[in-house]
A and B are shown apart, each in its own frame.
Chain A
């Protein structure tokens, strides 16, 4: 199964989902890479109705979450009634189909 990574700065421990050459907190340059998973808190969300040509859904819901270790990420939400602060669990799922290829990403339930 595909994994979605997060990076931990070896110098200060800062966790980011986005890969950088330099740590955003301390400018350190070495990182441990590990899968991003587990529980996360919803920070904000939107239900998107005007979608790109890649989607035939009437709408999809996207949100920004913070994992328990402080790492932040954006992903697809599969909850009927999202509320800021609610607890979610991350899974990996298909988030887009690009040129017939399924693209995997973070899905929160």
Chain B
């Protein structure tokens, strides 16, 4: 990038089930971010992230719709769609717009209203990102792809159902400290795994994954105001810089990957983000990983470079990734507990990290966090974005 890009403002809606429509969600997220920044009429470009309004809400042209709601015209606006990584993509494009010098201020808003349809329809909607002839027609779901991945990953590295449950335990616990989280309810190992009642409490979704191994289906939105250093300094807030962005793609159909447990797009996107920031994974103080499924938090924590391959579950077990541990992962509750309104997630991850670096994360604040990382996983790993954020002052 030609110049540095900063997060001048950020905010989000409470995730879960929204009373309003998608446009209300986008509006609320946009206002939360712009009010936080104290920047509004200076916005020169708007990027809206959303995956499924065409299918779920019978809406299109969301960029123009949001600009109209905010009366920001004639500001340029567009919709960015990249599956569950739409949020990361919109943030990247917004950052490139500012970083190239094309604009000084960009507004990035991600939002999704998934609860407009039944759970079965939501399952089908998410599955539309799979390969139409080689996956979708078979009734593939995202949990199914994750289940097949989990079976191999668990077998290879000795990961047990208890390790997976511990990801849920940690993230649900973190979620109770996040007023924006969809699920603010702690769970117990006995209740979801060890006791006979667990067969009902925690039913199979796609074996070996159970309900508490999956993110819920959520509504919600998140927003960011991205700008140049001069503009960011005027906000009077701690300076949070986007110091590295990496993105990579992989095969559409999961079975075309030579080794289906290699998340190559994750590895490459992370590598590029770290290189661009000029830091090492071990420099990171806090991370938001895309735990749409518990196994993914473990796998990503290894494949982005935080832990040696095959040791992510051990770090988890030792509490290294808990709040108070060496590298807290998903202090927000992650997708598991904060929820996963697909188009909003990538933006929400950046919002959480910005809060953490500014010291605004309340009860879940990671002490002295100065360097943060996000991984937003689209498709089943076929389009991944990673970001490194750093606090400057």
A-B interface contact total, Cβ < 8 Å: 113
Residue of B nearest to A49 (CB): B204
Residue A46 CB within 8 A of the other chain: yes
| Partner among B144, B205, B209 whose Cβ is within 8 Å of the Cβ of A62 | B144
- B151/A18 in contact, CB under 8 A: no
Residue B54 CB within 8 A of the other chain: no
- Which residues of B109-142 are within 8 A (CB) of A? 118-121, 123-124, 127, 131, 133-135, 137-141
User: Which residues of the other chain, A, contact B209 by a CB distance below 8 angstroms?
Assistant: 46
| Partner among B139, B155, B251 whose Cβ is within 8 Å of the Cβ of A52 | B139
A35 CB, nearest partner CB in chain B, Å? 14
- Which residues of A48-76 are within 8 A (CB) of B? 48-55, 59-60, 62-64, 72-76
Total contacting residues, chain B, CB less than 8 A = 38
Q: Say yes or no: A74-B118 contact (C-beta < 8 A), given A43-B260, A63-B148, A64-B260.
A: no
Residue of A nearest to B203 (CB): A49
* CA of A39 to CA of B57, assembled, Å: 44
Residue B230 CB within 8 A of the other chain: no
- Which residues of B255-305 are within 8 A (CB) of A? 255-256, 260
Classify chain A's interface size.
20 to 34
B31 CB, nearest partner CB in chain A, Å? 35
User: Which residues of the other chain, A, contact B124 by a CB distance below 8 angstroms?
Assistant: 52-54
- A72/B255 in contact, CB under 8 A: yes
| Partner among A43, A53, A64 whose Cβ is within 8 Å of the Cβ of B121 | A53
Interface set of B (CB-CB < 8 Å, partner A) = 118-121, 123-124, 127, 131, 133-135, 137-141, 143-144, 147-149, 151-152, 155, 203-209, 251-256, 260
> A74-B140, A84-B155 given. 7 additional CB < 8 A pairs?
A18-B252, A47-B206, A52-B120, A52-B127, A52-B141, A54-B139, A73-B134
